[in-house]
Structure 1
């Protein structure tokens, strides 16, 4: 498979504080790539740099063959990139239906947006039963489904996910991560997954990248990483 996203020697940080140090990785089109590592490894900074919230201080980021360096954050969704941030980002004052429609607001084809909305309710059945419930009435798992559904309403080719299992029960985590495989298989969606639940992330991913102190220390098929006992003990804590 060809690479949809390519990072070449990317460095980034916050003001004078460097966080990423020459990160290089590729995300194949139609694949799930999991980036794993300990707290402070730079995983969230990596996503913020890709989406344009942080500008790299070195290196390049290419998406579908084109440089993302000058792309504004608000234009990323039009380029086919959606982000589900850590903490879910649901607008709690709005209903489930309103949150989902907000995700597809920029789409001009209203009929297509309505079809996609119904697809979200098919994919996330708990949300279909709570269309008129406000965000603050939802459970943690339902909020994560809503955040994911809202991002998908934009019709992305590349989905960036930051810690989707945070605070969720193992059963709900398995359900949500399993949906990523369904989306990959059914639509060809490409996913870059940031996740501290290493076992679950590597179980669902095609490829894995281990980040440590802002640098890539391993990049292999996910099954190979999961089977590497020394690497797991040194960098992943299990």
Structure 2
């Protein structure tokens, strides 16, 4: 399968202190790749670097063969990248619908947003019922749904998703993972998924990479990683 995202020798950090060290990974188009590892392994920094929030010191970030380094956020979005950060990033003062409109802010065809909005409401009927409510009035699960829906309004090819299960009830987590599977299977969406809930992540992922101290220490199919007892015990805690 052709890799939609390819990362080569990526090194990045904060204030001159490296967090990522020569990270390599490839995510085939139309698949879900889970990024696993303990707290402090560099998972969130990886997503922040891919989305332009952290400037890499060296290495390449290729989306469909084009290097993304140095591009402004609006160009990244127009090239098909969406980032849903940890904490969901919902703007509390805005309504659900206003948050969704923001998802199309940098689309080249903003006049054609009604279609993506309608699709978002079809995916998340609960958001349609709450479309006039402000972000602060939503439950944790609804806020996560809104963050996902807002990213989807931009019609991304690649979604970077950071800890979508954080603080949510198991039933809501199961619904979100089922949605990711559906978006992959029906819409061809490619997802790079950072997730502390290892079992949930591996239940939907096609492949996975394991990070430790800013380095990739293993990369394989999700099934192979589940079956590697030594690796699971050493890095994944189960």
Structures share a fold, TM > 0.5?
Answer: yes
1:34 paired with 2:1, answer no
What is residue 2 of structure 2 aligned with on the other side?
A: 2
Q: 1:111 to 1:70 in 2, by over 3 A?
A: closer
Deviation at 1:229, TM superposition (A): 1.2
Gaps of 5+ in 2: none
Question: RMSD of the TM alignment (CA)?
Answer: 1.1
Is 1:205 the counterpart of 2:205? The answer is yes
Give the count of matched residue pairs.
Answer: 238
Do residues 52 (structure 1) and 25 (structure 2) align? no
Give the superposition deviation at 1:58.
1.8
Correspondence 1:19-98 to 2 at 5 A = 19-98=19-98
1:225 has 2:225 as partner: yes
Structure 1 residues 139 and 15: CA distance shift in structure 2, 3 A: same
SS at 1:27 equivalent: strand
Aligned positions of 1:153-232 closer than 5 A: 153-232=153-232
Q: 1:128 to 1:23 in 2, by over 3 A?
A: same
* Superposed displacement of residue 106, structure 1: 3.0
Rounded to whole Å, the distance in 2 between the matches of 1:123 and 1:52 is 28
Flag structure 1 segments of 5+ consecutive residues without an equivalent. none
**Further displaced range: 51-60 or 82-91:** 51-60
User: CA contact under 8 A between 2:104 and 2:110: conserved in structure 1?
Assistant: no
Q: For the Cα contact (< 8 Å) 2:37–2:212, is it kept in 1? A: yes
The match for 1:105 is: 105
What SS is found at the alignment partner of 1:159?
strand
Structure 1 stretches of at least 4 aligned residues deviating more than 6 Å after TM superposition: none
Q: Which deviations, in whole Å up to 9, do the C-alpha atoms of 1:184-222 show, x marking residues without a partner?
A: 111111100011101100111110000011010110011
More displaced, 67-76 or 198-207? 67-76
**TM value normalised by structure 1:** 0.97
Q: TM-score, normalised by structure 2?
A: 0.97
- Name the CA distance, whole Å, in 2 between partners of 1:172 and 1:112: 31
